[in-house]
A and B are shown apart, each in its own frame.
Chain A
Amino acid sequence: MATGRVIPLHARGEVPEVDPSNLTEVVRAYRGYVAAVVMRLLGRDDDVDDVVQDTFVRALDGLPRLQDKTRLKTYLASIAVRLTMRRLGRRRLLQRFGLSERWHPTLLSTPGASGEQKAMLADVYRVLDGCAPEARVAWTLRYLEGERLEDVAALMGLSLATVKRRIAAVDAQVQEAHRE
């Protein structure tokens, strides 16, 4: 069974050789990665499949024109991040009207997680659930995804300073929750 795995954007040496015009190869190489990014950003299982499929459908138009194969992963990630932020924005709007439930552990499947990890994830996502989409995505990319600040800024289309401010604001809340 092929498994998705964390492939940091900056770890270019680990990027598999994939022909961007070959969708079968692209799906096999990156579906897990894209799904993992989306699931971490959303913090729940629902909507993940929709966003991932939409990411690949939208990428299909641009894949054959992608000259630099090493940018394939960034290309897919940037689409996924944009779509996820849109989904988070909608969810936040629904929450304001009481039409979307708040985060709780059963919404996210983590079969391999220890009890301590599950408790930590609960702390993290309860904080993230109250944050603005832009801030929570920036923090998640930086810490749960392990991306460099420069890559986070590039993926989100924000300046480095803005990304740092967004991450710092969320991180303070996460640390506070962890201390409690």
Chain B
Amino acid sequence: MNESRREQDLRALGRVVEPTYSPLENAAFEAEVRRTHRRRQVTRRVSAAGAVVLVAAVVAFSAFRAREPEAPAVATVRIAPDASFVAAKGAAVRTRAVEPGLLWLELEKDSARFDVAPQGGRLVRISAGDVEVEVIGTAFVVTKGEREVSVAVTEGRVRVRHGEREALLVAGESGTWPVRMALVVPSAEPVPNDVKEPVVAEAPPAPVRAVPKRRPGSGAWRALAEQGDYGGAWTALQGEGQPDDEPPDLLRAADVARLSGHPAEALPPLRRILSRFPGDPRASLAAFTLGRVLLDDLGNPREAADAFLQAWALGPKSPLAPSAGARAVEALARAGDEAAAREAAERFVREFPQSSRVDAVKRWGKVP
């Protein structure tokens, strides 16, 4: 076929494919084009406005971030279950004591984060100046400044001691303690020899930045106890007589006794709470404190186990229950009652399977 003829044929073939539109169809088409065009314009403008807002937000956020001072990097100290530890470069940490039941480290300056694996009953203590942090849980940051030491707990719980004062911090809590505490020394007063029952302060007070001076006098032991001066409170208590026969005052008296170095004198007020006020919400705390004094201070694991088990029974759903259960297993094991320790350990695992203490409890109770 001739090329030009073929082209003509194909062009004619193309003309076969030819749609036709009436004026009415064209008008409807035009209206639809205009509508679609307007819709797209609106969409474009909204998108552009959104993009501008987004860009502005990103720029503002970047500027805000740029103004924020960067937090200094905190060196981490990882303490393994066998009490060995690895300190990252920059962590000014030194060892003060390593004993079978104690690992004692000191933070000399700056900050350090401590990640502490469960120690199976071993006490881990971190000192920063005259502030001591005792590990109950797992992770916390200690910062030693020129005037104060701050402790922030990120996981678990820790006990912070400052002189004779003590505070319990749980995850999310933090506290600041002065490096040099203004000591309050009560005026010397004769201590009657016939005072047999000490009287004391309640649970550990919250950390404070300064301790104002107070004159001891009637009820002064309570004020001193609230200030963390348990030695002064103990002395004042000897001259002031017995605490009120109510759980808060009895707990306070027990704390004054044990924190001032008279653990045996803490037993009567605690036992008084358990015998007279077993239904009080603080009875579980009293039993737990009794167990700690008996086990940690007086070395009486048998009676301590009973106290911890009582604390567990009085508050099976309380936040204290896992600690009470775990320490009950520990006390039973130390008392040599393997069968009871195993039984308590199995119960603990059943009731608190997610607890960080499970491994330690299994070891104490010899549960596979």
Tell me if B280 is interfacial: C-beta within 8 Å of chain A. no
In the complex with contacts A117-B16, A143-B14, A144-B11, A2-B21 CB distance below 8 A? yes
In the complex with contacts A57-B37, A143-B10, A146-B7, A27-B29 CB distance below 8 A? yes
Which residues of A are in contact with B by a Cβ distance under 8 Å? Answer: 1-6, 23-24, 27-28, 31-32, 35-36, 39-40, 48, 52-53, 56-57, 60-61, 108, 110, 112-113, 117, 120-121, 124, 140, 143-146
Q: Which residues of B (14-31) have their CB < 8 Å from a CB of A?
A: 14-23, 26-27, 29-30
Q: Are A23 and B23 in contact (CB under 8 A)?
A: no
Chain A residues with CB below 8 A from B18, complex form:
3-6, 32, 36, 39, 112
- Select which of A4, A24, A48, A113 is within 8 A of B16 by beta carbon: A113
Chain B residues with CB below 8 A from A60, complex form:
33-34, 37
Chain B residues with CB below 8 A from A53, complex form:
29, 32-33, 36
Tell me if B347 is interfacial: C-beta within 8 Å of chain A. no
Q: Are B13 and A117 in contact (CB under 8 A)?
A: yes
Q: Are A2 and B23 in contact (CB under 8 A)?
A: yes
Q: Once the chains are docked, how many angstroms separate the CA of A57 from the CA of B34?
A: 7
Q: Are A36 and B19 in contact (CB under 8 A)?
A: yes
Tell me if B214 is interfacial: C-beta within 8 Å of chain A. no
Q: Are A56 and B17 in contact (CB under 8 A)?
A: no
Of A48, A61, A144, most buried by chain B (CB within 10 Å of CB) is: A144
12 A-B pairs besides A40-B17, A53-B36, A145-B11 with CB distance below 8 A are A2-B20, A3-B18, A4-B18, A27-B29, A31-B29, A57-B33, A61-B37, A113-B16, A121-B16, A140-B14, A144-B13, A145-B14
In the complex with contacts A2-B26, A144-B11, A146-B11, A27-B33 CB distance below 8 A? yes
Residue in chain A with minimal CB distance to B19: A35
Chain B residues with CB below 8 A from A4, complex form:
18-21
Q: Are A112 and B22 in contact (CB under 8 A)?
A: no
Q: Once the chains are docked, how many angstroms separate the CA of A57 from the CA of B36?
A: 7
- Select which of B11, B12, B16 is within 8 A of A110 by beta carbon: B16
Tell me if B40 is interfacial: C-beta within 8 Å of chain A. yes
22 contacting pairs across A/B (C-beta < 8 A): A1-B23, A5-B18, A23-B30, A23-B34, A24-B27, A28-B26, A31-B26, A40-B14, A52-B29, A53-B36, A60-B34, A108-B17, A113-B16, A117-B16, A120-B9, A124-B13, A144-B10, A144-B14, A145-B14, A146-B7, A146-B11, A146-B14
Give the distance to chain A from B5, nearest Cβ to Cβ, in Å.
13
Chain A residues with CB below 8 A from B11, complex form:
6, 143-146
Chain B residues with CB below 8 A from A57, complex form:
33, 36-37, 40
Give the distance to chain B from A40, nearest Cβ to Cβ, in Å.
5
Q: Once the chains are docked, how many angstroms separate the CA of A145 from the CA of B12?
A: 9
Give the distance to chain A from B32, nearest Cβ to Cβ, in Å.
6
Chain B residues with CB below 8 A from A146, complex form:
7, 11, 14
Q: Once the chains are docked, how many angstroms separate the CA of A49 from the CA of B26?
A: 12
Q: Are B33 and A24 in contact (CB under 8 A)?
A: no
Chain A residues with CB below 8 A from B14, complex form:
6, 40, 140, 143-146
Q: Once the chains are docked, how many angstroms separate the CA of A48 from the CA of B19?
A: 10
Q: Once the chains are docked, how many angstroms separate the CA of A140 from the CA of B34?
A: 30
Chain B residues with CB below 8 A from A121, complex form:
13, 16-17
Residue in chain A with minimal CB distance to B8: A146
Chain A residues with CB below 8 A from B9, complex form:
120
Give the distance to chain B from A129, nearest Cβ to Cβ, in Å.
15
Q: Are B17 and A110 in contact (CB under 8 A)?
A: yes
- Select which of B12, B22, B32 is within 8 A of A1 by beta carbon: B22
Q: Once the chains are docked, how many angstroms separate the CA of A121 from the CA of B14?
A: 9
Give the distance to chain A from B315, nearest Cβ to Cβ, in Å.
65
Chain B residues with CB below 8 A from A113, complex form:
16
Residue in chain A with minimal CB distance to B16: A113
Give the distance to chain B from A19, nearest Cβ to Cβ, in Å.
14
Give the distance to chain B from A2, nearest Cβ to Cβ, in Å.
6
In the complex with contacts A53-B36, A144-B14, A3-B20 CB distance below 8 A? yes
Chain B residues with CB below 8 A from A39, complex form:
17-19
